[in-house]
Structure 1
Amino acid sequence: MDKRLAEIQQRLTKEQKDLSIFVKHVFDEYDKKADEHRRLIASNALAGIKTTGVEEKVFYDTIQETKRWMLNVLERTAQDLEHTGDKNWNKNFPDGVHE
C-alpha cells in the first residue's frame, strides 16, 4: 500500500500533495492503533484473558479494507485532478474536485 500511495503522490502536483500526505498520516494512525491493539491483546493473554481468532481477523481485515478504500478514493480524486478541463472525461465525483 505504501508503494501505491507513493505512486499516486508522484502524480499529484505540488499544491495537491496535501491530499496524499493526509492519507499517509491516517495510515500511520491506523498502524499505531493496530500496534496498541496488539500490545493490549498480548497483555490480556498474559493475564489469562483470551480473544477469539475471529475477532482478531475482523479487526485487521477492517483496517486493511479501510486503507484500500482510502487509496481507491485518493486514486479517483487524482484522476479527476489530472483531467481538470477535459470535456470528454467522465468525473469520478459529480461535484468535482474544485470549490
Structure 2
Amino acid sequence: MDKRLADIEQRLTKEYKDIAIFVKHVFDEYDIKTDEHRRLIASNALAGIKTSGVEEKVFYDMIQETKRWMLDVLERTAQDFEHKGDKYWNKNFPDGTHK
C-alpha cells in the first residue's frame, strides 16, 4: 500500500500533494492503533483473558479494507485532478475536485 500511495503522490502536482500527505498520516495512525491493539491483546493473553480469533480477523480485515478504500478514493481524486479542464473526461465525483 505504501508503494501505491507513493505512486499516487508522485502523480499529484505540488499544490495537491497535501491530500496524499493527509492519507499517509491517517495510515500512520491506523498502524499506531493496530500496534496498540496488538499489545492490548497480548497483555490480555498473559492475564488469561481469551480473545476471539474471529473478532481479531475482522479487526485486521477492517483496517486493511479501510486503507484500500482510502487509496481508491485518492486514486479517483488524482484522476480528476489530472483531467481538470478536459471536457471529455467523466468526473469520478459529481462536484469535481473543487467547489
TM-score by length of 1: 0.99
For the residue of structure 2 that corresponds to 1:90, the secondary structure is coil
- Provide the C-alpha distance between the structure 2 equivalents of 1:12 and 1:84, rounded to a whole number of angstroms: 12
Unaligned runs of 5+ in 2: none
1: distance between equivalents of 2:92 and 2:15? Answer: 20
Q: Which runs of 4+ in 1 moved over 3 A?
A: none
Distance 2:75 2:81 in 1: 10
Q: CA RMSD in A?
A: 0.4
**Which residue of structure 2 lines up, in the alignment, with residue 22 of structure 1?**
22
Aligned equivalents of 1:75, 1:48: Cα separation in 2: 44
- What is the CA distance between 1:55 and its match in structure 2? 0.5
How many angstroms does 1:98 deviate by? 1.5
Aligned length: 99
Report what 1:38 is aligned to. Answer: 38
TM-score (norm 2): 0.99
Q: Which runs of 5+ in 1 are unaligned?
A: none
> Who is 1:47 aligned against?
47
